[in-house]
A and B are shown apart, each in its own frame.
Chain A
Amino acid sequence: MSRYNFAFLDEHTKRMIRRALLKAVAIPGYQVPFGSREMPLSYGWGTGGVQVTASIIGPDDVLKVIDQGADDTTNAVSIRQFFRRTTGVRTTTRAHDATIIQTRHRVPETRLAEGQIVVFQVPIPEPLRWLEPRETETRTMHALEEYGVMHVRLYEDITRHGHVETSYDYPVRVNGRYLMRPSPIPKFDNPKLDRNPALLLFGAGREKRMYAVPPYTSVRSLDFEDYPFTIERWEHACALCGARDAFLDEIVVDDKGGRMFVCSDTDHCERRRSAP
């Protein structure tokens, strides 16, 4: 890999991305357009997250990569290998030990600390996209803080179904200002974004946008006084570690409807099992 620069991207590109990240941190929740590069992995596979990680990673960093909460899913393995090849940095599966955690679809169950950075892979950054397909329109709506349509949508869900019909990528308000898509994490993870001590960076490669939630920033999931935001609950405990407060994956174990529920966060589950 010696013909490529450290972490693949050239230093000019990294600087361009870091400048965009600084802007993103300065305006929490605001989507900053950036000159996203074509990466050697497919769009939709985490090109935005990979560019963010590549731009901030240094030789002393320790990297953890998860997909669906797990370190062993194929795309997590592939991205971890990519950084191992292009940077030679240490990698880990333990959330505690990582300085950078790149993730797709989950926030680790482990409470994060100051100094840690979580990099989210984002497919569609625009929270208003399903309500308004035009970028020119949605940018104006953000500028004018015109978020009524989203409240109307949630209200319509409640009148029709008694619940908000969004279970993942549930819209949040950042720092009392920008409406933000938390990337498709289950709404179970939304409360973890609020006032998190870690820096949360979001990269959308194909859509050429990035945004950020600085440490200890308020992140509120949209709701109504009489219909407060709630998260998923399971009647089961994790079949492996017995956790009752973790997000559970449902695994089909036979063709007769048999199910097994286990932690989606493999590191969390392992640690609970190996704890004395």
Chain B
Amino acid sequence: MYVAVKGGEQAIEAAHAQLAEDRRGDAAVPELTLMQIEQQLGLAVDRVMTEGSLYDRELAALAIKQARGDLVEAIFLLRAYRTTLARFGASLPVDTTRMTIRRRVSATFKDVPGGQILGPTFDYTHRLLDFSLADPEREREPTAAVDCPKPTSGSALPGHAERAARQSEGGVGAISGPPRVIDVLDREGLIEPERSDDDSGVVGDVTREPLAFPAARDVRLQNLARADEGFVLALGYATQRGYGRNHPFAAEIRIGEVELELAPEELGFSITLGELTVTECQMVNQFTGSAAAPPQFTRGYGLTFGHTERKAMAMALVDRALRARELGEAARTPPQDEEFVLYHSDNVEASGFVQHLKLPHHVDFQSELVLLRTLRAEAGIAPATTSP
């Protein structure tokens, strides 16, 4: 019954060879390039970068290709690469008021300073399969050649290519995007001020420190940003159906490019590392108030890489639900339970542990068999078949 060690090794090698062959598919079909994935499956790239917590479109595209389109597997690949990278500092907080806007909508006001910009969204598409996409021969005209406004930074401000040009002329920091919708409420004192629950000034890092409870909001938000989109979506949805209901309004969703800056200690000023595309969601939620404090709206926040609006919105709902303790609400439902949410949100962990059940467990199972047979024998039940 002893299988030579070589047998297992050969089996694994053969499995890897088959996997490579299946990945490639029919050799008569041209191989996908990373550029094609990056350009034409951009939202898959965005999700993999967000949950892989590594902003690198090319590596994300590579991971998607290697994972045969299994995005959770691609996220895992990216994470396992990320873990080997050195940490050389923490960036300055990203200033989303200086975003070059691609899309920006508010559900709380009919119009807002800076305007509503629909941008590239599926929202009002009719989900009819577009069979013209199936025909590779036909180069399609852009639909009805709509006169698209260029991305703007605030009203009548230049797009980011122009902005970059202007900055190189020395106009650094001169431009700011449209104000946050939520700031309008803030000025009137209608919404709680954004305050930190942590005075240390150091941002947590869930990839370096194990979770501890109660978890601070920076750690919770980091966990949620990396969390499985499906899990966060389901929890956010549950809050809308009464499991931790918090009466949300989407004050603003904005998508666009922001600059990432680092201020190295030895330099004494900040330098721009590059540009990120991010999705930010600000939710305005049910108000609280007490004898001491007048009633105010509360906040829920979501921020994700790329164009990942569903995730950012769900994240904002769950962020608000997880603030139950801080806001003196009874935490009775799963979305409000930080141990439940934070420990089960990670799809790399979840996928691994669920699937590890396919590893051999025959030793433990044998122990169970021995015990069960003993119990049954003591109960006077004879075995149905006799062992040799």
Contact = CB atoms under 8 A, between A and B. Distances in A.
B211 interface: yes
Given A73-B8, A188-B367, A206-B352, A136 B360 contact: no
B359 A77 contact: no
Contact of B83 (A37, A68, A187, A248): A37
Contacts of B8: 72-74, 76-77
Interface string B346-386: 00110111111001111110111111001100100000111
Interface stretch (B21-29, B151-159, B202-210): B202-210
Interface stretch (B74-82, B139-147, B161-169, B287-295): B74-82
Interface string B1-24: 111110111011000000000000
A191 to B, nearest CB: 14
B37 to A, nearest CB: 22
B186 interface: no
Interface string B58-87: 000000000000000000100110111010
A269 B364 contact: no
B364 A168 contact: yes
Nearest to B11: A74
Contacts of B354: 44
Interface string A84-95: 000000000100
A93 B5 contact: yes
B315 to A, nearest CB: 21
B170 interface: no
A234 interface: yes
A135 B213 contact: yes
B161 to A, nearest CB: 36
Interface string A227-268: 000001111100110000001111100001111101010100
A106 B366 CA distance: 12
A67 B384 CA distance: 31
A249 B366 contact: yes
A140 to B, nearest CB: 11
A45 interface: yes
Interface in A149-183: 161-163, 165, 167-169
A120 to B, nearest CB: 13
B213 A42 contact: no
A264 B363 contact: yes
B83 A44 contact: no
B387 A105 contact: no
A43 B363 contact: no
Contact of B352 (A4, A36, A43): A43
Contact of B2 (A43, A72, A136): A72
B355 A249 contact: no
Nearest to B357: A44
B3 A186 contact: no
- The listed residue with most B CB atoms (<10 A of its CB), out of A76, A206, A240, is A206
Nearest to A256: B385
Contacts of A123: 353, 356
A38 B77 CA distance: 10
A39 interface: yes
B148 interface: no
A270 interface: yes
A109 interface: no
A-B pairs with lowest CB-CB distance, top 9: A44-B356, A43-B352, A257-B385, A167-B367, A208-B210, A77-B8, A42-B352, A186-B367, A33-B210
Interface of B: 1-5, 7-9, 11-12, 76, 79-80, 82-84, 86, 207-213, 339, 343, 348-349, 351-356, 359-364, 366-371, 374-375, 378, 384-388
